[in-house]
């Protein structure tokens, strides 16, 4: 049984708390939020609610600290938790700079604790199934990819921290990074990045931002990623992707009732069952279950700090490109 201290009782804290309550391997023992009522409300009975995260770290009965704090606090709290000898699960993005991410990884490694990052898209069945289909070669060699993700501006956050790019990274670093991680997982390293973003401050509380990112992978695949915080308020959050290969196409749209389709030159036009319905575990619970297993079996975590740092590096390059209008090259031979 892994005893969990959850820090941050906001949107993702509520999701993680519900997940731990379903998992037999976990015991949710403490919840921390600097807004006392939020912590108490989520804790309910039997879970201790505190206001200062250091109380969680000082408790010798806590094995795992789950960080669901605004992104600008990830580095501080993850490094303090690791230094206190706790395993750490941290929401994505890992941090706001690659240097911070590296420091987090180093301190976890030195302390001998596991660090897992919440790149949950890998646990969404249509996305994980797409990887299996790509590897099966059914539509040939993937060449061109398109993803989209977005909805209205996330107004739910405490103190509206999403609107401050120094705290959230904006939609490229906060939102599009989900697809970046998934694509890196399937296709390997990115060679160069180009991005455009349209930003408008409607009011202090509401920022509109729509971004387009083009990635050129080292293996030649081109991906075009769209991310939006600019849809009218109340627009349902939606995602889609399309992977075009030499023999056909995978298409997915959250808006369709049969979201994942395979279309090939041979005339196939098949819906993929993904997987059993209803799902045994929702993706957020499945990712935490996989992390708990990695702790118990002392095995590889599902999404490591290093993988999350790589996704962050690409996202930051895209933001730099959107800011400067220039192509940004990453590693390797920059002239190819």
Ligand X SMILES: NC(=O)c1ccc[n+]([C@@H]2O[C@H](COP(=O)([O-])OP(=O)(O)OC[C@H]3O[C@@H](n4cnc5c(N)ncnc54)[C@H](O)[C@@H]3O)[C@@H](O)[C@H]2O)c1
Q: Considering beta carbons, is residue 94 or 223 the nearer one to ligand X?
A: 94
The piece of 33-41, 187-195, 268-276, 326-334 that touches ligand X (CB under 6 A) is 33-41
91 binds ligand X per the rule CB under 6 A: yes
Residues in CB range of 223: below 8 A, 6 or more apart: 144, 145, 146, 147, 183, 187, 214, 215, 217
Q: Considering beta carbons, is residue 71 or 272 the nearer one to ligand X?
A: 71
Smallest distance, ligand X to C-beta of residue 8, A: 4
Q: Considering beta carbons, is residue 36 or 144 the nearer one to ligand X?
A: 36
CB contact at 8 A, 316 and 173:
yes
* Polymer length in residues for the chain: 336
36 binds ligand X per the rule CB under 6 A: no
170 binds ligand X per the rule CB under 6 A: no
CB contact at 8 A, 272 and 260:
yes
Q: Which residues pair with 242 in a beta bridge?
A: 146, 251
The correct pick among 174, 181, 289, 313 for binding ligand X (CB under 6 A) is: 174
Smallest distance, ligand X to C-beta of residue 137, A: 30
Q: Considering beta carbons, is residue 194 or 313 the nearer one to ligand X?
A: 313
314 binds ligand X per the rule CB under 6 A: no
Task: Classify strands 26-32 and 48-50 as parallel, antiparallel or unpaired.
Answer: parallel
68 binds ligand X per the rule CB under 6 A: yes
Q: Could you tell me which of 149, 174, 177, 162 has the C-alpha nearest to residue 237?
A: 149
CB atoms within 10 A of CB 201: 11
Smallest distance, ligand X to C-beta of residue 71, A: 4
236 binds ligand X per the rule CB under 6 A: no
Cis peptide before 104 (omega within 30 of 0): no
Smallest distance, ligand X to C-beta of residue 49, A: 11
Tell me the helices (H) and strands (E) count for the chain, helix number first: 11, 15
The correct pick among 20, 53, 217, 229 for binding ligand X (CB under 6 A) is: 53
The correct pick among 4, 27, 28, 38 for binding ligand X (CB under 6 A) is: 38
How far is 235 from 215, CA to CA, in rounded Å?
27
Residues in CB range of 40: below 8 A, 6 or more apart: 49
Edge-first strand order for the sheet with 248-253 is 269-271, 260-264, 248-253, 238-245, 142-150, 222-228, 207-217, 190-201, 328-329
Tokens standing for 269?
Answer: 């036009």
Smallest distance, ligand X to C-beta of residue 264, A: 32
Q: Considering beta carbons, is residue 53 or 252 the nearer one to ligand X?
A: 53
Smallest distance, ligand X to C-beta of residue 115, A: 15
The CB-nearest residue to ligand X is: 10
Q: Of residues 108-167, which lie at the interface with ligand X (CB under 6 A)?
A: 118, 120, 156-158
Edge-first strand order for the sheet with 115-118 is 48-50, 26-32, 2-7, 64-67, 87-91, 115-118
Q: Considering beta carbons, is residue 49 or 244 the nearer one to ligand X?
A: 49
Q: Considering beta carbons, is residue 27 or 92 the nearer one to ligand X?
A: 92
The correct pick among 23, 55, 70, 253 for binding ligand X (CB under 6 A) is: 70
The correct pick among 9, 81, 84, 314 for binding ligand X (CB under 6 A) is: 9
The residues binding ligand X (CB under 6 A) are 7-13, 32-35, 38, 53, 68-71, 73, 91-92, 118, 120, 156-158, 174
């Amino acid at each position: 049984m892994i005893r969990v201290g959850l820090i941050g009782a906001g949107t993702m804290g509520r999701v993680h708390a519900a997940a731990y309550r379903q998992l037999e391997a976990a015991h949710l023992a403490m919840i921390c939020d600097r807004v006392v009522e939020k912590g108490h409300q989520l804790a309910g009975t039997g879970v201790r609610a505190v206001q200062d995260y250091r109380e969680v770290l000082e408790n010798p009965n806590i094995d795992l600290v789950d960080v669901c704090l605004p992104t600008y606090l990830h580095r501080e709290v993850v490094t303090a938790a690791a230094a206190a000898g706790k395993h750490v699960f941290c929401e994505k993005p890992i941090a706001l700079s690659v240097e911070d991410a590296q420091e987090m990884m180093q301190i976890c490694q030195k302390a001998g604790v596991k660090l897992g990052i919440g790149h949950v898209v890998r646990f969404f069945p249509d996305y994980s199934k797409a990887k299996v289909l790509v590897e099966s070669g059914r539509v040939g060699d993937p060449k061109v990819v398109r993803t989209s993700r977005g909805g209205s501006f996330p107004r739910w956050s405490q103190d509206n921290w999403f609107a401050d790019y120094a705290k959230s990274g904006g939609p490229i670093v906060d939102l599009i990074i989900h697809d970046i991680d998934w694509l890196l997982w399937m296709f390997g390293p990115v060679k160069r990045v180009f991005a455009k973003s349209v930003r408008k401050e409607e009011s202090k509380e509401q920022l509109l931002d729509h971004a387009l990112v083009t990635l050129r992978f080292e293996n030649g695949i081109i991906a075009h990623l769209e991310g939006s915080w600019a849809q009218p308020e109340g627009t349902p959050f939606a995602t889609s992707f399309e992977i075009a290969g030499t023999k056909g196409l995978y298409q997915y749209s959250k808006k369709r009732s049969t979201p994942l389709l395979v279309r090939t030159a041979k005339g196939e036009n098949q819906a993929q069952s993904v997987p059993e319905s209803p799902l045994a575990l929702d993706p957020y619970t499945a990712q935490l279950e996989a992390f708990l297993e990695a702790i118990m079996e002392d095995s590889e975590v599902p999404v490591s700090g290093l993988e999350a740092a790589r996704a962050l590096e690409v996202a930051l390059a895209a933001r730099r490109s959107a800011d400067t209008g220039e192509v940004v090259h990453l590693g390797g031979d920059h002239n190819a």
